A and B are shown apart, each in its own frame.
Chain A
Protein backbone atom coordinates (compact mmCIF):
# COMPACT_ATOMS: atom_id res chain seq x y z
CA UNK A 1 0.00 0.00 0.00
CA UNK A 2 1.03 3.60 -0.50
CA UNK A 3 2.18 5.14 2.77
CA UNK A 4 0.35 8.39 2.04
CA UNK A 5 -2.90 6.62 2.90
CA UNK A 6 -1.87 6.88 6.54
CA UNK A 7 -0.92 9.32 9.24
CA UNK A 8 2.33 8.05 10.67
CA UNK A 9 1.99 7.99 14.47
CA UNK A 10 5.29 6.18 15.04
CA UNK A 11 7.77 4.02 13.16
CA UNK A 12 5.44 1.05 13.62
CA UNK A 13 2.05 2.72 13.91
CA UNK A 14 0.02 3.82 10.88
CA UNK A 15 -3.30 5.53 11.45
CA UNK A 16 -6.29 5.93 9.16
CA UNK A 17 -8.18 8.88 10.66
CA UNK A 18 -11.94 8.74 11.06
CA UNK A 19 -13.69 9.52 7.81
CA UNK A 20 -16.97 8.68 6.10
CA UNK A 21 -18.87 5.98 7.96
CA UNK A 22 -15.98 5.18 10.32
CA UNK A 23 -16.94 5.48 14.00
CA UNK A 24 -13.33 5.17 15.16
CA UNK A 25 -9.92 5.38 13.46
CA UNK A 26 -8.10 2.34 12.13
CA UNK A 27 -4.52 1.55 13.16
CA UNK A 28 -2.03 -0.78 11.52
CA UNK A 29 1.00 -1.83 13.57
CA UNK A 30 3.80 -2.75 11.19
CA UNK A 31 7.12 -1.65 9.76
CA UNK A 32 7.16 0.60 6.72
CA UNK A 33 8.24 -2.35 4.56
CA UNK A 34 5.41 -4.57 5.79
CA UNK A 35 2.83 -1.83 5.19
CA UNK A 36 4.17 -1.32 1.66
CA UNK A 37 3.76 -5.06 0.99
CA UNK A 38 0.26 -5.27 2.45
CA UNK A 39 -2.73 -5.74 0.21
CA UNK A 40 -4.86 -2.61 -0.28
CA UNK A 41 -7.74 -4.82 0.90
CA UNK A 42 -6.33 -4.66 4.44
CA UNK A 43 -6.95 -0.91 4.36
CA UNK A 44 -10.51 -1.35 3.06
CA UNK A 45 -11.36 -4.07 5.55
CA UNK A 46 -9.86 -2.23 8.54
CA UNK A 47 -11.90 0.84 7.51
CA UNK A 48 -15.09 -1.23 7.13
CA UNK A 49 -14.66 -2.76 10.58
CA UNK A 50 -14.21 0.75 12.02
CA UNK A 51 -17.75 1.53 10.81
CA UNK A 52 -19.44 -1.30 12.74
CA UNK A 53 -21.80 -0.35 15.60
CA UNK A 54 -20.37 -0.16 19.10
CA UNK A 55 -16.69 -0.45 18.13
CA UNK A 56 -14.37 0.94 20.81
CA UNK A 57 -11.15 2.96 20.38
CA UNK A 58 -10.04 1.73 16.95
CA UNK A 59 -10.05 -1.05 14.39
CA UNK A 60 -6.59 -2.63 14.59
CA UNK A 61 -4.44 -4.66 12.19
CA UNK A 62 -1.38 -6.62 13.30
CA UNK A 63 1.96 -6.74 11.43
CA UNK A 64 0.95 -9.95 9.60
CA UNK A 65 -2.38 -8.52 8.42
CA UNK A 66 -3.66 -9.63 5.05
CA UNK A 67 -6.86 -9.72 3.05
CA UNK A 68 -9.46 -11.79 4.87
CA UNK A 69 -13.22 -12.03 4.59
CA UNK A 70 -14.99 -9.15 6.29
CA UNK A 71 -12.32 -8.50 8.89
CA UNK A 72 -8.70 -8.57 7.78
CA UNK A 73 -6.73 -11.61 8.92
CA UNK A 74 -4.66 -10.09 11.70
CA UNK A 75 -7.60 -7.90 12.72
CA UNK A 76 -8.53 -6.91 16.28
CA UNK A 77 -11.73 -5.08 17.20
CA UNK A 78 -13.56 -4.67 20.51
CA UNK A 79 -17.25 -3.89 20.87
CA UNK A 80 -19.21 -2.46 23.78
CA UNK A 81 -22.51 -4.27 24.44
CA UNK A 82 -23.88 -1.16 26.16
CA UNK A 83 -23.26 0.97 23.08
CA UNK A 84 -25.05 -1.27 20.57
CA UNK A 85 -21.92 -3.33 20.00
CA UNK A 86 -21.96 -6.30 17.65
CA UNK A 87 -20.53 -9.78 17.42
CA UNK A 88 -19.41 -10.98 13.98
CA UNK A 89 -18.99 -14.56 12.76
CA UNK A 90 -16.63 -13.29 10.06
CA UNK A 91 -14.69 -11.42 12.75
CA UNK A 92 -13.86 -14.73 14.38
CA UNK A 93 -13.43 -16.77 11.21
CA UNK A 94 -14.54 -20.21 10.11
CA UNK A 95 -11.79 -22.02 11.99
CA UNK A 96 -12.98 -20.95 15.43
CA UNK A 97 -10.22 -21.04 18.07
CA UNK A 98 -7.58 -22.13 15.61
CA UNK A 99 -4.42 -21.84 17.62
CA UNK A 100 -0.97 -23.02 18.57
CA UNK A 101 0.29 -25.05 21.49
CA UNK A 102 3.85 -25.76 22.46
CA UNK A 103 5.15 -28.73 24.46
CA UNK A 104 8.51 -29.08 26.14
CA UNK A 105 10.34 -32.39 25.61
CA UNK A 106 13.42 -32.06 27.83
CA UNK A 107 15.41 -33.43 24.88
CA UNK A 108 18.27 -32.00 22.85
CA UNK A 109 18.89 -32.10 19.10
CA UNK A 110 21.14 -35.16 19.33
CA UNK A 111 18.33 -37.11 21.01
CA UNK A 112 16.07 -36.40 18.05
CA UNK A 113 18.70 -36.96 15.38
CA UNK A 114 19.20 -40.54 16.60
CA UNK A 115 15.58 -41.34 15.84
CA UNK A 116 14.55 -38.57 13.46
CA UNK A 117 13.28 -40.66 10.54
CA UNK A 118 11.45 -43.33 12.57
CA UNK A 119 10.05 -40.64 14.88
CA UNK A 120 8.71 -38.69 11.90
CA UNK A 121 7.25 -41.90 10.52
CA UNK A 122 5.57 -42.83 13.80
CA UNK A 123 4.15 -39.34 14.25
CA UNK A 124 2.74 -39.36 10.72
CA UNK A 125 1.05 -42.69 11.50
CA UNK A 126 -0.31 -41.56 14.86
CA UNK A 127 -1.59 -38.10 13.86
CA UNK A 128 -4.51 -38.19 11.42
CA UNK A 129 -3.78 -35.42 8.91
CA UNK A 130 -5.09 -34.27 5.57
CA UNK A 131 -8.35 -34.22 3.66
CA UNK A 132 -10.65 -37.13 4.52
CA UNK A 133 -8.61 -38.38 7.50
CA UNK A 134 -10.49 -39.51 10.58
CA UNK A 135 -9.63 -39.88 14.24
CA UNK A 136 -10.19 -42.97 16.32
CA UNK A 137 -12.48 -41.27 18.80
CA UNK A 138 -16.22 -41.40 18.04
CA UNK A 139 -18.41 -39.26 20.21
CA UNK A 140 -22.06 -40.09 20.84
CA UNK A 141 -24.56 -37.32 21.42
CA UNK A 142 -24.02 -37.03 25.18
CA UNK A 143 -20.22 -37.18 24.95
CA UNK A 144 -20.24 -34.61 22.14
CA UNK A 145 -22.14 -32.19 24.38
CA UNK A 146 -19.81 -32.96 27.31
CA UNK A 147 -16.82 -32.19 25.08
CA UNK A 148 -18.38 -28.94 23.84
CA UNK A 149 -18.99 -27.82 27.42
CA UNK A 150 -15.73 -29.12 28.88
CA UNK A 151 -12.98 -28.45 26.30
CA UNK A 152 -9.51 -29.64 27.26
CA UNK A 153 -10.76 -30.29 30.81
CA UNK A 154 -13.15 -32.87 29.32
CA UNK A 155 -10.27 -34.45 27.39
CA UNK A 156 -8.11 -34.67 30.52
CA UNK A 157 -10.98 -36.28 32.45
CA UNK A 158 -11.20 -38.90 29.72
CA UNK A 159 -7.50 -39.68 30.07
CA UNK A 160 -6.06 -37.59 27.24
CA UNK A 161 -3.57 -35.57 29.20
CA UNK A 162 -2.76 -34.42 32.70
CA UNK A 163 -4.48 -32.01 35.07
CA UNK A 164 -1.34 -29.87 35.04
CA UNK A 165 -1.92 -29.18 31.34
CA UNK A 166 -5.04 -27.17 32.04
CA UNK A 167 -3.43 -24.22 33.79
CA UNK A 168 -1.21 -23.78 30.73
CA UNK A 169 -4.17 -23.22 28.40
CA UNK A 170 -6.13 -20.00 27.92
CA UNK A 171 -9.35 -20.12 29.97
CA UNK A 172 -7.72 -22.94 31.95
CA UNK A 173 -8.69 -25.30 29.17
CA UNK A 174 -12.43 -24.73 29.43
CA UNK A 175 -14.31 -21.84 27.84
CA UNK A 176 -17.15 -20.83 30.11
CA UNK A 177 -20.72 -20.13 28.95
CA UNK A 178 -20.49 -22.54 26.04
CA UNK A 179 -23.91 -23.69 24.85
CA UNK A 180 -23.70 -27.11 23.14
CA UNK A 181 -27.45 -26.84 22.52
CA UNK A 182 -26.78 -23.90 20.17
CA UNK A 183 -24.58 -26.10 17.97
CA UNK A 184 -26.56 -27.59 15.09
CA UNK A 185 -26.90 -31.30 14.43
CA UNK A 186 -25.03 -30.69 11.15
CA UNK A 187 -22.06 -29.14 12.95
CA UNK A 188 -21.94 -32.04 15.38
CA UNK A 189 -22.19 -34.56 12.55
CA UNK A 190 -19.30 -32.86 10.78
CA UNK A 191 -17.22 -33.35 13.93
CA UNK A 192 -18.22 -36.95 14.51
CA UNK A 193 -15.05 -38.48 13.03
CA UNK A 194 -12.74 -35.50 13.41
CA UNK A 195 -11.73 -35.46 17.09
CA UNK A 196 -7.96 -35.68 17.34
CA UNK A 197 -7.30 -34.77 13.70
CA UNK A 198 -4.86 -32.13 12.48
CA UNK A 199 -6.68 -30.88 9.39
CA UNK A 200 -4.89 -29.56 6.31
CA UNK A 201 -3.73 -26.32 4.73
CA UNK A 202 -1.46 -24.35 7.02
CA UNK A 203 -2.02 -26.68 9.99
CA UNK A 204 0.94 -28.71 11.19
CA UNK A 205 2.66 -30.53 13.98
CA UNK A 206 6.39 -29.87 14.26
CA UNK A 207 9.36 -30.98 16.31
CA UNK A 208 11.48 -27.87 16.67
CA UNK A 209 14.79 -26.78 18.16
CA UNK A 210 15.27 -23.51 20.04
CA UNK A 211 17.91 -21.84 17.86
CA UNK A 212 17.94 -18.33 19.35
CA UNK A 213 17.06 -16.84 22.71
CA UNK A 214 16.40 -13.09 22.72
CA UNK A 215 15.26 -12.58 26.30
CA UNK A 216 17.02 -14.94 28.71
CA UNK A 217 14.92 -14.04 31.77
CA UNK A 218 11.56 -14.62 30.13
CA UNK A 219 12.87 -17.71 28.33
CA UNK A 220 13.91 -19.09 31.72
CA UNK A 221 10.45 -18.36 33.12
CA UNK A 222 8.98 -20.25 30.17
CA UNK A 223 11.44 -23.13 30.68
CA UNK A 224 13.14 -22.55 27.33
CA UNK A 225 16.88 -22.61 26.62
CA UNK A 226 19.05 -22.63 23.52
CA UNK A 227 19.11 -26.11 21.98
CA UNK A 228 15.91 -27.32 23.64
CA UNK A 229 13.57 -29.46 21.61
CA UNK A 230 9.87 -28.56 21.65
CA UNK A 231 6.74 -29.75 19.84
CA UNK A 232 4.40 -27.20 18.30
CA UNK A 233 0.85 -28.00 17.16
CA UNK A 234 -1.18 -25.65 14.95
CA UNK A 235 -4.83 -26.55 14.36
CA UNK A 236 -8.37 -25.59 15.30
CA UNK A 237 -11.95 -26.67 15.85
CA UNK A 238 -12.15 -28.80 12.71
CA UNK A 239 -15.46 -29.38 10.94
CA UNK A 240 -17.58 -28.32 13.89
CA UNK A 241 -16.15 -24.81 13.97
CA UNK A 242 -16.29 -24.48 10.19
CA UNK A 243 -19.97 -25.42 10.15
CA UNK A 244 -20.85 -23.01 12.99
CA UNK A 245 -19.07 -20.21 11.15
CA UNK A 246 -20.91 -21.06 7.94
CA UNK A 247 -24.36 -21.20 9.54
CA UNK A 248 -24.07 -18.04 11.62
CA UNK A 249 -22.51 -16.02 8.81
CA UNK A 250 -25.74 -16.59 6.87
CA UNK A 251 -28.02 -15.93 9.84
CA UNK A 252 -26.21 -12.68 10.61
CA UNK A 253 -26.27 -11.56 6.96
CA UNK A 254 -29.98 -12.24 6.66
CA UNK A 255 -30.92 -10.65 10.00
CA UNK A 256 -28.68 -7.54 9.81
CA UNK A 257 -31.36 -5.33 8.25
CA UNK A 258 -33.95 -6.19 10.91
CA UNK A 259 -31.41 -5.19 13.54
CA UNK A 260 -31.01 -1.86 11.79
CA UNK A 261 -27.44 -2.62 10.70
CA UNK A 262 -26.53 -1.33 7.24
CA UNK A 263 -23.64 -3.50 6.04
CA UNK A 264 -21.26 -1.93 3.51
CA UNK A 265 -20.65 -5.52 2.36
CA UNK A 266 -22.35 -8.73 3.40
CA UNK A 267 -19.01 -10.25 4.29
CA UNK A 268 -19.16 -8.03 7.42
CA UNK A 269 -22.28 -9.87 8.63
CA UNK A 270 -22.80 -9.26 12.33
CA UNK A 271 -25.52 -9.04 14.97
CA UNK A 272 -26.00 -6.95 18.10
CA UNK A 273 -24.46 -8.70 21.10
CA UNK A 274 -27.82 -8.38 22.84
CA UNK A 275 -29.81 -9.95 19.99
CA UNK A 276 -31.00 -13.56 19.96
CA UNK A 277 -28.77 -14.48 17.03
CA UNK A 278 -25.81 -12.71 18.68
CA UNK A 279 -26.30 -14.58 21.94
CA UNK A 280 -26.85 -17.90 20.19
CA UNK A 281 -23.68 -17.42 18.17
CA UNK A 282 -21.66 -16.62 21.29
CA UNK A 283 -22.86 -19.84 22.96
CA UNK A 284 -22.08 -21.91 19.87
CA UNK A 285 -18.75 -20.17 19.23
CA UNK A 286 -17.64 -20.85 22.81
CA UNK A 287 -18.57 -24.50 22.34
CA UNK A 288 -16.36 -24.49 19.24
CA UNK A 289 -13.52 -22.99 21.30
CA UNK A 290 -13.88 -25.98 23.64
CA UNK A 291 -13.83 -28.28 20.63
CA UNK A 292 -10.52 -26.77 19.50
CA UNK A 293 -9.04 -27.01 23.00
CA UNK A 294 -10.16 -30.65 23.29
CA UNK A 295 -8.78 -31.40 19.84
CA UNK A 296 -5.34 -29.99 20.59
CA UNK A 297 -5.40 -31.84 23.92
CA UNK A 298 -6.09 -35.18 22.20
CA UNK A 299 -3.35 -34.49 19.65
CA UNK A 300 -1.02 -33.77 22.57
CA UNK A 301 -1.86 -37.16 24.01
CA UNK A 302 -1.12 -38.86 20.67
CA UNK A 303 2.27 -37.10 20.51
CA UNK A 304 3.10 -38.14 24.04
CA UNK A 305 2.30 -41.76 23.23
CA UNK A 306 4.68 -41.71 20.28
CA UNK A 307 7.46 -40.16 22.38
CA UNK A 308 6.80 -42.72 25.14
CA UNK A 309 7.64 -45.46 22.65
CA UNK A 310 10.48 -43.72 20.83
CA UNK A 311 12.10 -41.66 23.62
CA UNK A 312 10.78 -43.12 26.88
CA UNK A 313 12.91 -40.75 28.97
CA UNK A 314 11.07 -37.69 27.60
CA UNK A 315 8.32 -35.90 29.47
CA UNK A 316 6.20 -33.50 27.44
CA UNK A 317 4.67 -30.88 29.74
CA UNK A 318 2.71 -28.09 28.13
CA UNK A 319 4.39 -24.71 27.77
CA UNK A 320 1.21 -22.93 26.68
CA UNK A 321 -1.78 -23.04 24.32
CA UNK A 322 -3.09 -19.93 22.53
CA UNK A 323 -6.07 -19.42 20.22
CA UNK A 324 -5.96 -16.84 17.45
CA UNK A 325 -9.53 -16.88 16.04
CA UNK A 326 -11.85 -15.89 18.87
CA UNK A 327 -14.27 -13.43 20.38
CA UNK A 328 -13.80 -13.13 24.15
CA UNK A 329 -15.30 -10.96 26.86
CA UNK A 330 -12.47 -9.06 28.55
CA UNK A 331 -12.05 -6.03 30.74
CA UNK A 332 -10.04 -3.26 29.14
CA UNK A 333 -9.35 0.36 29.79
CA UNK A 334 -11.18 2.52 27.28
CA UNK A 335 -12.61 6.03 27.29
CA UNK A 336 -11.49 6.74 30.82
CA UNK A 337 -12.76 3.62 32.56
CA UNK A 338 -12.55 -0.15 32.69
CA UNK A 339 -15.18 -1.71 30.45
CA UNK A 340 -16.30 -5.20 29.61
CA UNK A 341 -15.72 -5.57 25.88
CA UNK A 342 -16.25 -8.28 23.26
CA UNK A 343 -12.80 -8.51 21.72
CA UNK A 344 -12.60 -10.12 18.28
CA UNK A 345 -9.21 -11.48 17.30
CA UNK A 346 -9.19 -12.85 13.76
CA UNK A 347 -5.71 -14.16 13.08
CA UNK A 348 -4.40 -12.35 16.14
CA UNK A 349 -3.11 -13.72 19.45
CA UNK A 350 -4.09 -12.53 22.90
CA UNK A 351 -0.97 -11.17 24.58
CA UNK A 352 -1.65 -10.36 28.23
CA UNK A 353 1.18 -8.51 29.91
CA UNK A 354 2.91 -9.19 33.25
CA UNK A 355 0.60 -9.16 36.23
CA UNK A 356 -2.57 -10.06 34.40
CA UNK A 357 -4.79 -12.10 36.74
CA UNK A 358 -5.70 -14.67 34.07
CA UNK A 359 -2.10 -15.80 33.66
CA UNK A 360 -0.74 -18.92 35.37
CA UNK A 361 1.30 -18.04 38.45
CA UNK A 362 4.51 -19.14 36.73
CA UNK A 363 4.06 -16.46 34.05
CA UNK A 364 2.75 -13.59 36.19
CA UNK A 365 6.04 -11.70 35.98
CA UNK A 366 6.98 -12.69 32.44
CA UNK A 367 3.67 -12.11 30.65
CA UNK A 368 1.69 -14.48 28.51
CA UNK A 369 3.53 -16.75 26.05
CA UNK A 370 2.56 -15.73 22.51
CA UNK A 371 3.17 -18.57 20.06
CA UNK A 372 3.76 -17.53 16.46
CA UNK A 373 3.79 -20.18 13.74
CA UNK A 374 5.97 -19.64 10.70
CA UNK A 375 6.03 -21.66 7.50
CA UNK A 376 7.51 -25.13 7.36
CA UNK A 377 11.21 -24.92 6.84
CA UNK A 378 11.73 -21.43 8.20
CA UNK A 379 11.02 -20.91 11.85
CA UNK A 380 8.49 -20.05 14.51
CA UNK A 381 8.70 -17.74 17.50
CA UNK A 382 7.81 -17.53 21.15
CA UNK A 383 6.99 -14.00 22.27
CA UNK A 384 5.73 -12.60 25.57
CA UNK A 385 2.84 -10.24 26.21
CA UNK A 386 3.79 -6.75 27.34
CA UNK A 387 2.21 -4.22 29.69
CA UNK A 388 2.00 -1.61 26.92
CA UNK A 389 0.11 -3.97 24.60
CA UNK A 390 -3.03 -3.31 26.64
CA UNK A 391 -3.08 0.32 25.52
CA UNK A 392 -1.98 -0.49 21.96
CA UNK A 393 -4.52 -3.10 20.80
CA UNK A 394 -6.36 -4.60 23.78
CA UNK A 395 -3.38 -6.87 24.55
CA UNK A 396 -3.05 -8.46 21.13
CA UNK A 397 -0.21 -9.47 18.85
CA UNK A 398 0.37 -11.13 15.47
CA UNK A 399 -0.27 -14.84 14.82
CA UNK A 400 1.94 -16.00 11.97
CA UNK A 401 3.81 -15.19 8.82
CA UNK A 402 0.89 -14.70 6.45
CA UNK A 403 0.94 -15.80 2.84
CA UNK A 404 3.02 -13.86 0.36
CA UNK A 405 1.36 -15.47 -2.66
CA UNK A 406 -1.73 -17.44 -3.58
CA UNK A 407 -1.88 -21.23 -3.54
CA UNK A 408 -2.27 -21.12 -7.31
CA UNK A 409 0.96 -19.18 -7.73
CA UNK A 410 2.77 -21.48 -5.28
CA UNK A 411 1.75 -24.50 -7.38
CA UNK A 412 3.28 -22.83 -10.43
CA UNK A 413 6.52 -22.09 -8.58
CA UNK A 414 7.18 -25.34 -6.74
CA UNK A 415 6.68 -29.08 -6.84
CA UNK A 416 5.93 -30.86 -3.59
CA UNK A 417 8.62 -33.51 -3.98
CA UNK A 418 11.25 -30.87 -4.71
CA UNK A 419 10.26 -28.93 -1.59
CA UNK A 420 10.46 -32.11 0.53
CA UNK A 421 13.91 -32.96 -0.90
CA UNK A 422 15.30 -29.46 -0.41
CA UNK A 423 14.14 -29.38 3.20
CA UNK A 424 15.48 -32.91 3.80
CA UNK A 425 18.89 -31.71 2.62
CA UNK A 426 18.69 -29.09 5.40
CA UNK A 427 17.81 -31.73 7.97
CA UNK A 428 14.05 -31.06 8.02
CA UNK A 429 11.78 -34.07 7.46
CA UNK A 430 8.34 -33.34 5.98
CA UNK A 431 5.56 -35.92 6.20
CA UNK A 432 2.37 -35.21 4.28
CA UNK A 433 -0.23 -37.28 2.44
CA UNK A 434 -0.36 -34.65 -0.32
CA UNK A 435 2.58 -33.39 -2.39
CA UNK A 436 0.31 -30.77 -3.92
CA UNK A 437 -0.46 -29.60 -0.38
CA UNK A 438 3.28 -29.35 0.34
CA UNK A 439 3.84 -27.28 -2.81
CA UNK A 440 1.02 -24.89 -1.84
CA UNK A 441 2.59 -24.52 1.61
CA UNK A 442 6.17 -24.08 0.35
CA UNK A 443 8.24 -21.82 2.64
CA UNK A 444 8.67 -19.32 -0.18
CA UNK A 445 4.88 -18.85 -0.41
CA UNK A 446 4.94 -17.15 2.98
CA UNK A 447 6.14 -13.78 4.14
CA UNK A 448 9.22 -13.52 6.29
CA UNK A 449 7.99 -14.42 9.77
CA UNK A 450 11.09 -12.75 11.27
CA UNK A 451 10.03 -9.38 9.84
CA UNK A 452 6.55 -9.84 11.33
CA UNK A 453 7.77 -10.62 14.85
CA UNK A 454 10.42 -7.90 14.69
CA UNK A 455 7.63 -5.43 13.94
CA UNK A 456 5.43 -6.81 16.74
CA UNK A 457 8.39 -6.46 19.11
CA UNK A 458 9.30 -2.97 17.96
CA UNK A 459 5.66 -1.81 18.12
CA UNK A 460 5.47 -3.08 21.70
CA UNK A 461 2.68 -5.59 21.02
CA UNK A 462 4.80 -8.45 22.37
CA UNK A 463 8.43 -9.08 23.24
CA UNK A 464 10.63 -11.52 21.31
CA UNK A 465 11.74 -14.43 23.52
CA UNK A 466 12.97 -17.28 21.33
CA UNK A 467 13.14 -18.56 17.78
CA UNK A 468 12.57 -22.22 17.01
CA UNK A 469 13.31 -24.12 13.80
CA UNK A 470 11.76 -27.37 12.62
CA UNK A 471 13.39 -30.80 12.46
CA UNK A 472 10.20 -32.72 11.66
CA UNK A 473 6.99 -31.36 10.17
CA UNK A 474 3.73 -33.31 9.88
CA UNK A 475 1.45 -31.55 7.38
CA UNK A 476 -2.15 -32.24 6.47
Chain B
Protein backbone atom coordinates (compact mmCIF):
# COMPACT_ATOMS: atom_id res chain seq x y z
CA UNK B 1 0.00 0.00 0.00
CA UNK B 2 1.40 3.44 -0.82
CA UNK B 3 2.67 5.41 2.14
CA UNK B 4 0.07 8.16 1.92
CA UNK B 5 -2.60 5.66 2.92
CA UNK B 6 -0.65 4.78 6.05
CA UNK B 7 -0.75 8.40 7.01
CA UNK B 8 -4.55 8.53 6.92
CA UNK B 9 -4.94 5.33 8.92
CA UNK B 10 -4.26 7.15 12.17
CA UNK B 11 -6.92 9.79 11.67
CA UNK B 12 -9.57 9.97 14.31
CA UNK B 13 -13.06 10.42 12.93
CA UNK B 14 -13.40 14.05 12.00
CA UNK B 15 -16.46 13.86 9.84
CA UNK B 16 -20.19 13.90 10.47
CA UNK B 17 -23.50 13.90 8.70
CA UNK B 18 -25.95 16.75 9.04
CA UNK B 19 -29.68 16.75 8.55
CA UNK B 20 -31.35 17.42 5.25
CA UNK B 21 -34.98 16.39 4.72
CA UNK B 22 -34.69 13.87 1.87
CA UNK B 23 -30.94 13.71 1.35
CA UNK B 24 -27.84 13.72 3.54
CA UNK B 25 -25.33 16.41 4.47
CA UNK B 26 -21.65 15.41 4.62
CA UNK B 27 -19.15 17.46 6.62
CA UNK B 28 -15.41 17.00 7.07
CA UNK B 29 -13.05 18.81 9.47
CA UNK B 30 -9.30 19.03 9.13
CA UNK B 31 -6.22 20.83 10.35
CA UNK B 32 -5.70 21.65 6.68
CA UNK B 33 -8.08 22.18 3.79
CA UNK B 34 -6.85 18.91 2.24
CA UNK B 35 -7.68 16.99 5.42
CA UNK B 36 -11.16 18.50 5.54
CA UNK B 37 -11.71 17.28 1.97
CA UNK B 38 -10.45 13.80 2.90
CA UNK B 39 -12.80 13.66 5.86
CA UNK B 40 -15.74 14.88 3.77
CA UNK B 41 -15.07 11.95 1.42
CA UNK B 42 -15.17 9.57 4.39
CA UNK B 43 -18.52 11.08 5.36
CA UNK B 44 -19.63 10.38 1.77
CA UNK B 45 -18.70 6.70 2.12
CA UNK B 46 -20.55 6.57 5.44
CA UNK B 47 -23.78 7.55 3.67
CA UNK B 48 -23.53 4.23 1.86
CA UNK B 49 -21.85 1.90 4.35
CA UNK B 50 -19.78 1.74 7.53
CA UNK B 51 -16.31 2.84 6.32
CA UNK B 52 -14.73 0.40 8.80
CA UNK B 53 -16.04 -2.52 6.70
CA UNK B 54 -14.24 -1.28 3.57
CA UNK B 55 -10.71 -2.66 3.18
CA UNK B 56 -8.25 -0.31 1.47
CA UNK B 57 -6.99 -2.93 -1.00
CA UNK B 58 -7.10 -1.14 -4.33
CA UNK B 59 -6.19 2.39 -5.17
CA UNK B 60 -7.45 4.92 -7.73
CA UNK B 61 -6.30 8.40 -8.60
CA UNK B 62 -8.46 11.35 -9.55
CA UNK B 63 -7.85 14.96 -10.41
CA UNK B 64 -10.31 17.86 -10.30
CA UNK B 65 -10.40 21.46 -11.32
CA UNK B 66 -12.70 24.26 -10.16
CA UNK B 67 -12.58 28.04 -9.90
CA UNK B 68 -12.94 28.08 -6.10
CA UNK B 69 -12.71 25.84 -3.04
CA UNK B 70 -16.44 25.22 -2.74
CA UNK B 71 -16.93 24.06 -6.30
CA UNK B 72 -13.72 22.05 -5.86
CA UNK B 73 -15.24 20.17 -2.90
CA UNK B 74 -18.26 19.27 -5.03
CA UNK B 75 -15.94 18.20 -7.86
CA UNK B 76 -13.87 16.04 -5.50
CA UNK B 77 -16.91 14.30 -4.04
CA UNK B 78 -18.38 13.85 -7.53
CA UNK B 79 -15.10 12.31 -8.70
CA UNK B 80 -15.37 9.75 -5.88
CA UNK B 81 -19.05 9.13 -6.72
CA UNK B 82 -18.00 8.51 -10.33
CA UNK B 83 -15.24 6.07 -9.36
CA UNK B 84 -17.62 4.24 -7.01
CA UNK B 85 -20.25 3.97 -9.74
CA UNK B 86 -18.07 2.94 -12.67
CA UNK B 87 -15.71 0.61 -10.74
CA UNK B 88 -18.43 -0.69 -8.40
CA UNK B 89 -16.15 0.03 -5.48
CA UNK B 90 -16.33 1.59 -2.05
CA UNK B 91 -13.47 3.62 -0.55
CA UNK B 92 -12.30 4.09 3.03
CA UNK B 93 -9.01 5.98 2.79
CA UNK B 94 -8.41 9.23 1.00
CA UNK B 95 -5.47 11.51 0.34
CA UNK B 96 -5.81 14.96 -1.19
CA UNK B 97 -3.08 17.25 -2.52
CA UNK B 98 -4.22 20.75 -3.37
CA UNK B 99 -2.80 22.42 -6.42
CA UNK B 100 -3.03 25.89 -7.88
CA UNK B 101 -6.27 25.33 -9.81
CA UNK B 102 -7.55 22.08 -8.39
CA UNK B 103 -6.47 18.95 -6.59
CA UNK B 104 -4.98 15.52 -7.06
CA UNK B 105 -6.63 12.87 -4.96
CA UNK B 106 -6.21 9.21 -4.18
CA UNK B 107 -8.73 6.77 -2.79
CA UNK B 108 -8.24 3.25 -1.43
CA UNK B 109 -10.99 0.71 -1.24
CA UNK B 110 -12.39 -2.54 -2.60
CA UNK B 111 -15.20 -3.83 -4.83
CA UNK B 112 -18.63 -3.50 -3.24
CA UNK B 113 -19.91 -6.74 -1.71
CA UNK B 114 -23.56 -6.53 -0.71
CA UNK B 115 -23.38 -9.29 1.91
CA UNK B 116 -20.53 -7.61 3.79
CA UNK B 117 -21.04 -3.90 3.17
CA UNK B 118 -24.87 -3.79 3.33
CA UNK B 119 -24.78 -0.68 1.11
CA UNK B 120 -27.83 1.35 2.07
CA UNK B 121 -28.14 3.68 -0.87
CA UNK B 122 -26.16 4.92 -3.84
CA UNK B 123 -25.15 8.55 -3.96
CA UNK B 124 -26.22 10.25 -7.19
CA UNK B 125 -24.06 13.33 -6.85
CA UNK B 126 -22.94 16.24 -4.68
CA UNK B 127 -25.29 19.22 -4.74
CA UNK B 128 -24.43 22.85 -3.94
CA UNK B 129 -26.97 22.94 -1.12
CA UNK B 130 -25.39 24.01 2.19
CA UNK B 131 -22.10 23.99 0.28
CA UNK B 132 -19.47 25.59 2.49
CA UNK B 133 -15.68 25.42 2.65
CA UNK B 134 -14.20 27.79 5.22
CA UNK B 135 -11.62 28.16 7.98
CA UNK B 136 -13.09 27.21 11.34
CA UNK B 137 -11.25 27.25 14.67
CA UNK B 138 -7.71 26.03 14.09
CA UNK B 139 -8.57 24.28 10.85
CA UNK B 140 -11.08 23.92 8.06
CA UNK B 141 -14.59 22.68 7.50
CA UNK B 142 -15.84 21.33 4.14
CA UNK B 143 -19.48 20.39 3.70
CA UNK B 144 -22.33 19.93 1.25
CA UNK B 145 -25.54 17.92 0.73
CA UNK B 146 -25.34 14.81 -1.43
CA UNK B 147 -28.33 13.54 -3.37
CA UNK B 148 -29.30 9.92 -2.69
Contact = CB atoms under 8 A, between A and B. Distances in A.
Interface of A: 39, 41, 66-70, 73, 90, 93-95, 130-134, 186, 189-190, 192-193, 199-201, 239, 242-243, 245-246, 249-250, 253-254, 265-267, 269, 402-403, 406-409, 433-437, 439-440, 476
Interface in B76-116: 78, 81-82, 85-86, 88, 111-112, 114
A242 B125 contact: yes
B148 to A, nearest CB: 5
A73 B75 contact: no
B121 to A, nearest CB: 5
Contacts of B82: 186, 190, 243
Contacts, number: 137
A236 to B, nearest CB: 9
B17 A408 contact: yes
Contacts of A190: 82, 85-86
Nearest to A129: B114
Contacts of A407: 24, 47, 120-121, 148
Contact of B145 (A69, A201, A245, A403): A69
Given A69-B23, A69-B129, A201-B148, A131 B17 contact: no
A433 B129 CA distance: 30
B124 A440 contact: no
Interface string B124-148: 1111110100000000000001011
A406 B120 contact: no
Contacts of B66: 250
Given A67-B22, A201-B122, A243-B82, 18 more contacts: A67-B20, A67-B21, A69-B128, A69-B129, A130-B114, A131-B112, A131-B114, A131-B120, A190-B85, A245-B124, A254-B67, A267-B128, A267-B131, A269-B128, A406-B24, A434-B114, A435-B118, A476-B121
A308 B136 CA distance: 61
28 contacts: A39-B21, A69-B23, A69-B145, A73-B22, A94-B124, A130-B119, A131-B112, A131-B114, A131-B121, A132-B88, A132-B111, A132-B112, A132-B119, A200-B121, A242-B85, A243-B82, A243-B125, A246-B126, A249-B125, A250-B66, A266-B71, A266-B128, A403-B21, A406-B21, A408-B19, A433-B118, A440-B120, A440-B121
B21 A66 contact: yes
Contacts of A266: 70-71, 128, 131
A134 B148 CA distance: 18
Interface centre among A66, A93, A433, A436 (most CB of B within 10 A): A436
Contacts of A66: 21-22
Contacts of B24: 406-408
B118 A69 contact: no
Given A69-B145, A250-B71, A403 B128 contact: no
B74 A250 contact: yes
Interface residues of B, number: 41
B117 to A, nearest CB: 8
A434 B21 contact: no
B48 interface: yes
A199 B19 contact: no
Contacts of B71: 250, 253-254, 266
